[in-house]
Structure 1
Amino acid sequence: MDIKIYLLAIAVLLSFATISVEAQETDQRPPNIVFLFADDLGFGDLGCYGHPYARTPAIDQLAKEGTRFTQFYVTGVTCNPSRTGIMTGLFPARFPKYAADFGFGNRTTITELLKERGYRIGHFGKWHIGPDDSDGTYGIDEIKTIGKSRHKSAGRDDDLYSAAIDFIKDNRDGPFYVNVWGHATHFPVNTPAELADHFNDVTVDRNDFAPTMQHKFDECLKIGGDLDESMRQYLGDVYQIDLNVGRVLKLIDELGLRENTIVVFSSDHGPAPVALENKGAREFSNNMLGYAGEFRGGKHDQYEGGTRVPFIVRWPGQVKAGRVDSSNVCSFVDWLPTLCSIAGIEELPQQLDGENVSNIWLGSDRERTKPLFWKTSATGSTPAMRVGKWKLHLPRKQRGEPELYDLSLDPSESNNIAEDHPEVVDRLGKTLQAWIAELPANYEKTKKR
């Protein structure tokens, strides 16, 4: 054989072998994970979740390309407890020391597990998960705790999203995991005209909203707010979230990462109240018109409006596109075991309150195997739980009457049927009390709240 032909044949075979190895590595490589997390965004604050005026085209398109859940829950009704469940797979009431002040102690986090799996980990924006936000904490390679953006006209989350975009560019070869934890729509909502003016055509018709929203309109008016202007302010803040989500999605496509990247969008709990009971009305309180849809309550409440949040997941070829999952009950306490399953991590922490719901993400229907519990980190605070269709609230320090709701018939928790179903109250109550017995007798915090 001619030596030139021989060498050419060898070169061709080597090139095919290289392509084959690269393709195999791509098939075996776990997916990138991009976690876009809003702050105090209500269940009903997005167009795809039924807001009558919101303009969220990027997030709505994400929902069309993925699955949108309507029974997805957080683990706490304020900022740190919600994030504690995400990071550890444990209900936050299990921690005797408040994690915002002390961190997670010896508990293993999802970011540490993914780091061991070979992921590059980034975190940008709000922190609120311990006193140390230096690189390396919880296995996170790059941490930038970024507050409001320097250029106000672009919206308050613009800078932190820009930092996350840079991280994705730098780690495009993957796999990477990135927390993009924004500040909108946390108090105060003070939206620049450049964003709020997009909604100058909005005039509030109170009939466009559920009965559960009417008290917020009343409170806004009572403290001197203008419903139309306050609504435009709030919608502008939501709009800048959508603009930033659009930037990330565009980048993922430009880098050719869409097919092997899981994108999740959600919120840390329900919308903030117009005025806090212990602080009253403050400047910009009138703009806090977040919408929980038909659900009762919001931030600080363990009713559905505080615990149920929007949740959208896209993973092309894996998660069904255009699907609305209204039957499965999932929670952020499931985040750690679910991502570990997807990423091929087999050794998990011995104690987990969550369960692997990856099959639900991928389209299966099944009953969850573990109850959902809520309780603030205070001795004697009000506990609540959900099992199946039932939601039970026990009174604080056993003073008062229990509340039981059938969420399949009464998702707004407007009709307490505890007296009609004493056997359900007794059965669930025993389960809830058994869980409370596992919790710390006392809690420690370093800051007044």
Structure 2
Amino acid sequence: MNSNRFKLAWYALFVVGTMLVVACDSEAATERPPNVVFMFADDLGYGDLGCYGHPYAKTPVLDQLAKEGTRFTQYYVTGVTCNPSRTGIMTGLFPARFPQYAADFGFGDRITITELLKSRGYKTGHFGKWHIGPDNRSGTYGIDVVDAIGKSKSKTSGRDDDVYSAAIDFIRENKDSPFYVNVWGHATHFPVNPAENLAAKFKDVHVSRDDFSSTMQHKFDECVQIGGNLDKSMQRYLADVYQIDANVGRLLSVIDELGLRDETIVVFSSDHGPAPVILGNKGAREFSINMLGYASHFRGGKHEQYEGGTRVPFIIRWPGHVPAGRINDHDVCSFIDWMPTLCSIAGVDEIPTQIDGEDISDIWQGADRSRSKPLFWKSSSIGSTPAVRHGNWKLHLNRRRGQDVELYDLSVDPSESKNVAKDHPEEVARLAKMTQAWMSELPKQYEKADAKSRSRED
């Protein structure tokens, strides 16, 4: 009898334990994945924020966001103009893989991150700059609400006010379900022409060239050469950056108001390096004097595959998961990793078999490791120069007659000022072989829309 009672008691405990395990597994399976707010500036330089070393910028909100999360110093984009950068983010593929220019033709049959997250139950939204295909209607790429808002018309507010206001409305409307939202602003894209009241906030700024790296001096020279005043041009550029910061603050306040801080991944970055002063268009020079975006000590900017064009600010906050107050200056990461990383975090199992990025969710959350895949850049032109970063090495495989191959050790020369190709022929050979193997997978020809119908958002 005692034996039977023992067996019954043991069986009861077994049943209860099994039910608890099943309940826990069920709860884990149905646990709400985190929201994602992705704020993307346009043409903002690596060094344009206070927390990234700008000597004059006022960016208190983004500086605080960096303190509450992790700030990366080796984060890369997938292209050095607007559409290629966005193509890599949306598809997880290097943009040179697309035989048709995605700004003109879209992504074809390639699945996007928004479609994958929508399949996981996310509400998806996109507000602001589009430039990822000819169709910007709601429903495109699995995005529930698309509103390709232009710059705000107000003469006293920032040009991204309307974009952020629409995104805030979307967040309020979808606070009870997981949501993903692109908030893609227009600042600091050409033309930088902020409201006078915003520029007045920087009236006491007087440019001292010694406050900036040697790589910035040519911009100052060009600004002066075409009739610009360095102080006024800098004041206007800083005003455009300031309004980005203020709008980020508005959005983050709503996240807190709704009690969503702990369950929301917040990311702020830029689509590539800063635009040049001289744009090559005489009719545009009225505003080009204000194009004083700063790439810090890096060489180059928009349109160039040097570090100033490919390396961008990247700030991420996710309380309880992403370390607060951390500066990650070791790990090499890229927006080519956006799709696999978010899918891993959100519990999306079915992702494309062909993908160029890798899951770096562990790095976001504090791990320190080397990435396994190289990073490639190349424009959608058969004869264009490819570049690759692998480990500490960066190779520019110049293919035009008379131009040397360029090799830089970024661990000691992040400004790419000393070409060491002749000193390290074995590294040149290794990286060139790797790059040529990648290029063999690319299309043999590319198609763009005719000049009259093509998008001019770059």
Matches within 5 A, 1:67-106: 67-106=70-109
Aligned to 1:10: none
Q: How far does residue 63 in structure 1 lie from its aligned partner after superposition?
A: 0.3
The 5-angstrom pairing of residues 85-164 of structure 1 reads 85-164=88-167
- Looking at structure 2, the residues matched to 26 and 443 of structure 1 have their Cα atoms a distance apart, in angstroms, of 44
Task: Give the share of equivalent positions with the same residue, in percent.
Answer: 72
Matching residue of 1:241: 244
What's the counterpart of residue 315 of structure 2? 312
Find the residue that maps to 1:153 and give its secondary structure.
coil
1:447 positional shift = 3.9
Aligned residue in 1 for 2:435: 432
Deviation at 1:38, TM superposition (A): 0.2
- Answer yes or no: is the 8 Å Cα contact 2:122–2:180 preserved in 1: yes
Partner residue of 1:61? 64
**Mapped contact 1:223–1:281 kept (Cα < 8 A):** no
Superposed CA deviations along residues 194-236 of structure 1, whole A, max 9, x for unmatched, are 1110001100000000000000000000000000000000000
2:41 aligns with one of 30, 38, 42: 38
Show the counterpart of 1:294. 297
Give 1:404's aligned residue. Answer: 407
Q: Secondary structure at the residue paired with 1:348? A: coil
Q: Aligned Cα RMSD in Å?
A: 1.7
Q: Deviations 1:46-101 (Å, cap 9, x if unpaired)?
A: 00000000000111110000000000000000000000000000000000000000
Offset from partner CA, 1:334-354 (integer Å, 9 cap, x none): 000000000001111010000
CA deviation after TM superposition for structure 1 residue 283, in Å: 1.2
Q: How far apart in 2 are the matches of 1:146 and 1:48? A: 29
Residue pairs, 1:204-223, within 5 angstroms: 204-223=207-226
Which residue does the alignment assign to 1:49? 52
- Determine whether 1:368 maps to 2:410: no
Match of 2:416 in 1: 413
Taking structure 1 as the reference length, the TM-score comes to: 0.94
Separation in 2, partners of 1:324, 1:251:
26
1:279-358 correspondence runs (5 A): 282-358=285-361
Cα distance between partner residues in 1 of 2:289 and 2:406 = 31
Q: CA deviation at 1:152?
A: 2.9
Letter in 2 for 1:55: K
Q: Residues 279 and 288 of structure 2 are in contact (CA less than 8 Å); yes or no, is this contact kept in structure 1?
A: no
**What amino acid is aligned across from residue 305 of structure 1 in structure 2?**
G
Partner of 1:8: none
Contact 1:88 1:107 in 2 (8 A): yes
| Deviation readout 1:241-277 (Å, 9 max, x if unpaired) | 0000000000000000000000000000000000124
| Whole-angstrom CA distance in 2 between matches of 1:125 and 1:30 | 25
* 1:66 and 1:312 in contact (8 A); partners too: yes
For 2:61, what is the secondary structure of its paired residue?
helix
Q: Kindly indicate whether the alpha-carbon contact (under 8 Å) linking 1:274 and 1:281 is maintained by their aligned counterparts in 2.
A: no
Provide the C-alpha distance between the structure 1 equivalents of 2:196 and 2:281, rounded to a whole number of angstroms.
31
- Counterpart pick for 2:171 among 168, 171, 182: 168
**Cα distance in 1 between the residues matched to 2:204 and 2:302:** 29
1:101–1:447 CA contact under 8 A, matched in 2: no
User: Residue type matched to 1:413 in 2?
Assistant: E
**Separation in 1, partners of 2:279, 2:256:** 42
Return the alpha-carbon distance in structure 1 between the equivalents of residues 155 and 113 of structure 2.
33
Q: Is the 8 A contact 1:87 1:111 kept in 2?
A: yes
Q: Secondary structure at the match of 1:295?
A: coil
CA positional deviation for 1:279: 5.4
Letter aligned with residue 57 of structure 2: A
Matched residue SS, 1:395? coil
| One-letter identity of the residue aligned with 2:342 | L
The reply to whether residue 268 of structure 1 matches residue 271 of structure 2 is yes
Work out the CA distance in 1 between the residues paired with 2:123 and 2:347. 16
Deviation at 1:396, TM superposition (A): 3.2
Where 1:177 maps in the other structure, the secondary structure is strand
Which deviations, in whole Å up to 9, do the C-alpha atoms of 1:358-411 show, x marking residues without a partner? Answer: 000000011100000000000110110000000000113465210000000000
TM-score, normalised to structure 2, is 0.92
Change (3 A) 1:80 1:166: same
CA positional deviation for 1:278:
6.1
Aligned residues: 430
Runs of at least 4 residues off by over 2 Å: 23-27, 276-281, 396-399
Q: 1:320 to 1:161 in 2, by over 3 A?
A: same
In structure 2, C-alpha distance between the alignment counterparts of 1:335 and 1:349, rounded to whole Å: 13
Aligned counterpart for 1:390 among listed residues 389, 393, 402: 393
SS at match of 2:315: strand
1:320 and 1:327 map into 2 onto residues whose CA distance is 15
2:197 corresponds in structure 1 to: 194
The 2-side partners of 1:135 and 1:440 are apart by 30
5+ residue gaps, structure 2 = 1-22
